[in-house]
Chain A
Amino acid sequence: MNELLLVVAIAGERVALPADAVESVVELDTLIPVPRAAPHVAGLSALRSRVLTVIDCMRSIDLGTTECSDGIREAVVVELDGHHYALLVGLVEDVVEALSEPSPVRAAMGPGWERIAKGMVETENGPLLVVDVAALISGLEAKAA
């Protein structure tokens, strides 16, 4: 059984998240800002009685801010160290099967991508970049520290 990947778009680019890590895909309606938090923390949202920390993936990679003025924000819910996060992504596309183990990307990526990339995998639809969820969540600061 090959690893399943969730294909999402971040900053217009199609990337893959390990499907194991993903709890659900939701549409967030409320977004409560967290003043003074790191820029990639878009705010808090609630899923039933659970508080989600919303991470703006684009900011985490330092590629601008996810556009969510239309009110509907598609987000991928993941759990890390007992906390639930919602990763704001541009578009959730599909679940695909990985056809290979992640291999290093040897071409030069943008600095933001470099940090969050876990490697490249082959899929039926061609190669995809697998993203490190923990790196997305920790944001830029963690790297500097």
Chain B
Amino acid sequence: MDDLIADFVAECREMLEALGGEIVAWEAQPGDRARLDSIFRFVHTVKGNCGFFEFPRLEALSHAAEDALADVRAGRREADGALVSAVLAIVDRIGEMVAAIEAGEDFPVGDDSLLIAALAPGAEGPATPLAGALEGNGKAAAAPRTIRLSVELLDRVMSTVSDMVLARNELARRLRESPTDVPVDGAFERLSSIIAEMRDAITRTRMQRIENLFVGLPRMVRDLCADLGKQVLVDIEGGDVELDREMIEMIRDPLTHIVRNAVDHGIELPADRLKAGKREIGILSVSARQSGNQILIDIHDDGRGIDGTKLVDKAVASGLLDKAAADALSPRDQLALIFEAGLSTAKQVTAISGRGVGMDVVRSNIERIGGIVEVDSRLGEGTRMTLRVPLTLTIIPALTVSIAGQHFAIPRSAIEEIVRANGESVTLERLGGAGVATIRGRRVPEVSLADILGLKSDVPEAERRLVVLRASGGDVYALSVDRIHDHEELVVKPAAPAVMATGLYAGTTLADDGSPILLFDANGLAEVGGVKLEVQERGSRIAEAATSEASKLTAVLLFRGLDGGRRALRLAVVDRIEEVAAAAVRDAAGQLRVQVGEAILPLAGTTAGELGEGKVRLFRLNDGSHEIGYAFAEVIDFAVIENDVIHAASPGEIGGVSLINGEPAEIVDAHWLFANHVGSFARPSERMVCRLPSDDPWIQNMLRPIVEAAGYCVVGEGDEPADLVIASRGADIADDAARETIWLRSEAKAAGKKDESIYRYDRAGLLMALKSAGAGRGK
């Protein structure tokens, strides 16, 4: 809030300063419309803001002035000397109050009603200047000192720093070439680190939390709702993502536009919502997150959605499309029509949106900063707009490579490894003309940069280098290049649209010698090179299904389990990631537990045998009241569940499986984890009891979930009666252990016809046996 007030104060001061001259001019010429307008804008802004900040006196003042000026603007009243003076007195008073707010003092005492009364037509004389008007202004504000700078100046500093980085790179190259002595190297190192520090600082100067963009939205939506008679709840997430200030400014208008659209056209009137079986209050969620080199801003409403066929009809009617082309459009392409100029499905133009400044402007604005707008909608269920904005392509570490004598750069973040094409662990094969590289047993598609670019390489294939790249979806391919040059930090700038249109490049940069270098986009290379990325497939799938449950996209953390399994956990339950010594994991009190700091948490995701020596990394999961640990090997990525989840046959640690980023991933059922690891002591006792040997980790960790999922309460060896016992074949169990026994064998094949044991991974068989054992009790 303090920030906002500071902004408000700064804005007011700026306007007041600018108004200084205007006021004088207006006084001289009360009929001057332009002056009137700027004063009106000022009081209007003040009024709008103080309603928000609860400065009732300021609001009353500005409101009164606004009313009077509005009358003049509408021609209902002549601006005469008295009115001018009254308005000026109010502007002065506002100035004092703003100064008081800035200094954190109370408002100067005084009755505003006189000032307001002076505005009334025919009021007597101008308000008298106020006592103590400007005396308090001498004090400097105690708040953190800030200044406002023009973006131009900042840009100049930025580009100077960029140039400085270039100069440093050049110097580094020269130093490498010529033998130098240690002091020179030392001095250069120091210079380098200072430059790096400075670059950091200046980058931070340019970065701003995206919160600034979001902070005005609730207010705007509230006002819109009031106008439209709708009810909308705004849910904002991810305000702490940082973005280039300029980007923030560039996104502001498109974002506002999308939000307005969502409220105006997307979310229905409360009555219509009820009719459609929805809650009266619409939900508009705005979230920002960082994904690789992009910032994703999602604006999602649960309104009526966009009717793709209507859009197509409209496009055909307005001659944008011919019928044949229209029929060939995929659902996604239909929705994309919304970005075409002059198309709006709004039946009537409202004051809020639909005035022709359409989505085409939104798209062109976003594309100007190298971003993408995507739309996804499901009729009757809602619309999701995603703005993908490049994360300040200012300075990124990159690898320079060359092909046919020309240099290119590849962002280091996309590079997984670099191998020699003729290296020992690498083989290159051709399958139907396509290249396949086998790198240490892993087969990855191989593309030649020379082929992609249509250049002739004079380096024989066997002598090239393979750069293994990871596209943003996690798919890996190998790119063969002539030579690898250098790792460098490059100052990357967006390239012109004609260059970006190739889809290959992410931007341009300058080499040490000042010649331009193109920076590749790993995804674009793959696409143009014909590598079938599963991401691309996913893209088309989304289109077909229009995300079957647009509102149910769940953010997950994709990770590799200790057993190598690709799993996903709902992001919301993961509190943080910890690393502990393997020794901190103990099998205690009936289950694996891990000591994290002072706490002992139940540990899931592993069996005692898997941990070995060294460190264990674990997620700390939190359901609000309990915590458990979940061991894992590595985090792969953040992702969302976009595809259907195939649910597990019975509840268990893995609740289901789904394609995430193009590969299947098991979705860990957090509810089950908590129910099992935390809530087990609270189990009702009337359930059937199954005895499981507690010393068998496999049974405890793998089987137990299944048994429990089947409705059994699991006990260890002990005296309590059990309905069922499950044991590995050959194990010793007491005769009176339970009424029924299920034997498990570890080989898939039965030993003979008499063998009634069940292969321990025969889930169906196990479940059947568990069921029939349960039914047995009823007899």
Do A and B associate with each other? yes
Contact partners of B528 in chain A: CB under 8 A:
36
Contacts A32-B516, A44-B516, A44-B518; A49 near B510 (Cβ below 8 A): yes
Check if A51 sits within 8 Å of B508, measured CB to CB: yes
Check if A36 sits within 8 Å of B454, measured CB to CB: yes
Instruction: Mark B493-523 against chain A: 1 for CB-CB distance below 8 A, else 0.
Output: 1111111011011001110001111100000
Instruction: Give Cα A28 to B516, complex, Å.
Output: 12
Instruction: Mark A36-70 against chain B: 1 for CB-CB distance below 8 A, else 0.
Output: 11101100111011011101000000000000000
Contact partners of A94 in chain B: CB under 8 A:
none
- Interface residue tally for chain A (C-beta within 8 Å): 27
Instruction: Give Cα A41 to B498, complex, Å.
Output: 7
Contact partners of B453 in chain A: CB under 8 A:
35-36
Instruction: Give Cα A21 to B413, complex, Å.
Output: 38
Which of A11-19, A80-88, A111-119 contacts its partner? A80-88
Check if A38 sits within 8 Å of B510, measured CB to CB: no
Contact of B498 among A45, A51, A138 (CB under 8 A): A138
Contact of A45 among B494, B504, B516 (CB under 8 A): B516
Contact partners of B501 in chain A: CB under 8 A:
37-38, 141
Check if A85 sits within 8 Å of B496, measured CB to CB: yes
Instruction: Mark B472-507 against chain A: 1 for CB-CB distance below 8 A, else 0.
Output: 000000000000000000010111111101101100
Contact partners of A141 in chain B: CB under 8 A:
501
Instruction: Give Cα A137 to B497, complex, Å.
Output: 10
Closest chain A residue, CB of each to CB of B250: A82
Check if A37 sits within 8 Å of B498, measured CB to CB: yes
Instruction: Give Cα A116 to B504, complex, Å.
Output: 28
Instruction: Give Cα A32 to B499, complex, Å.
Output: 12
Instruction: Give Cα A122 to B368, complex, Å.
Output: 36
B460 vs chain A, min Cβ distance (A): 21
Check if B510 sits within 8 Å of A36, measured CB to CB: no
Check if A83 sits within 8 Å of B497, measured CB to CB: yes
Check if A51 sits within 8 Å of B495, measured CB to CB: yes
**B377, CB-defined interface residue at 8 Å:** no
**A30, CB-defined interface residue at 8 Å:** yes
**A33, CB-defined interface residue at 8 Å:** yes
Which of B140-148, B159-167, B699-707 contacts its partner? B159-167
Check if A51 sits within 8 Å of B454, measured CB to CB: no
Check if A44 sits within 8 Å of B498, measured CB to CB: no
What is the interface residue range for chain B against chain A?
20 to 34
Contact of B495 among A33, A38, A53, A139 (CB under 8 A): A53
Check if B406 sits within 8 Å of A32, measured CB to CB: yes
**B455, CB-defined interface residue at 8 Å:** yes
Closest chain A residue, CB of each to CB of B165: A49
Query: Chain A contact residues: over half helix, strand or loop, or mixed?
Result: mixed
A33 vs chain B, min Cβ distance (A): 7
Instruction: Give Cα A83 to B368, complex, Å.
Output: 10
Contact partners of B454 in chain A: CB under 8 A:
35-36
Query: Chain B contact residues: over half helix, strand or loop, or mixed?
Result: mixed
**A34, CB-defined interface residue at 8 Å:** yes
Closest chain B residue, CB of each to CB of A41: B498
Contact of B162 among A30, A32, A49 (CB under 8 A): A49
Closest chain A residue, CB of each to CB of B450: A35
Check if B499 sits within 8 Å of A41, measured CB to CB: yes
Check if A81 sits within 8 Å of B516, measured CB to CB: no
Closest chain B residue, CB of each to CB of A141: B501
Instruction: Give Cα A57 to B502, complex, Å.
Output: 19
Instruction: Give Cα A33 to B517, complex, Å.
Output: 10
Closest chain B residue, CB of each to CB of A139: B498
Contacts A44-B508, A49-B162, A49-B166; A32 near B515 (Cβ below 8 A): yes
Check if A36 sits within 8 Å of B517, measured CB to CB: no
Check if A82 sits within 8 Å of B368, measured CB to CB: yes
B365 vs chain A, min Cβ distance (A): 11
Contacts A36-B504, A81-B368; A53 near B493 (Cβ below 8 A): no
Check if A30 sits within 8 Å of B516, measured CB to CB: yes
Contact of B493 among A41, A51, A85 (CB under 8 A): A51
Contact partners of A51 in chain B: CB under 8 A:
493, 495, 508-510, 516
Check if B515 sits within 8 Å of A30, measured CB to CB: yes
Contacts A36-B453, A82-B368, A83-B497; A46 near B516 (Cβ below 8 A): yes
Check if A34 sits within 8 Å of B162, measured CB to CB: no
Instruction: Mark B746-772 against chain A: 1 for CB-CB distance below 8 A, else 0.
Output: 000000000000000000000000000
User: Which residues between 376 and 400 of chain B lie within 8 Å of chain A, taking CB atoms?
Assistant: none
A27 vs chain B, min Cβ distance (A): 15
Closest chain B residue, CB of each to CB of A82: B368
Instruction: Give Cα A53 to B502, complex, Å.
Output: 14
Check if A53 sits within 8 Å of B496, measured CB to CB: yes
Instruction: Mark B444-463 against chain A: 1 for CB-CB distance below 8 A, else 0.
Output: 00000000111100000000
> A46-B515, A83-B494 known; 13 other A-B pairs, CB under 8 Å?
A35-B454, A36-B528, A37-B498, A37-B499, A37-B501, A38-B501, A40-B498, A41-B498, A44-B499, A44-B508, A49-B159, A49-B491, A51-B516
**Interchain Cβ contacts under 8 Å between A and B, 10 examples:** A30-B515, A32-B515, A34-B505, A35-B502, A36-B452, A37-B502, A41-B496, A41-B499, A48-B163, A49-B491
| Interface positions of B (Cβ within 8 A of A) | 159, 162-163, 166, 368, 406, 452-455, 491, 493-499, 501-502, 504-505, 508-510, 514-518, 528
The 9 closest A-B pairs by CB, nearest first: A35-B453, A44-B516, A53-B496, A83-B496, A51-B508, A36-B502, A49-B163, A51-B516, A30-B515
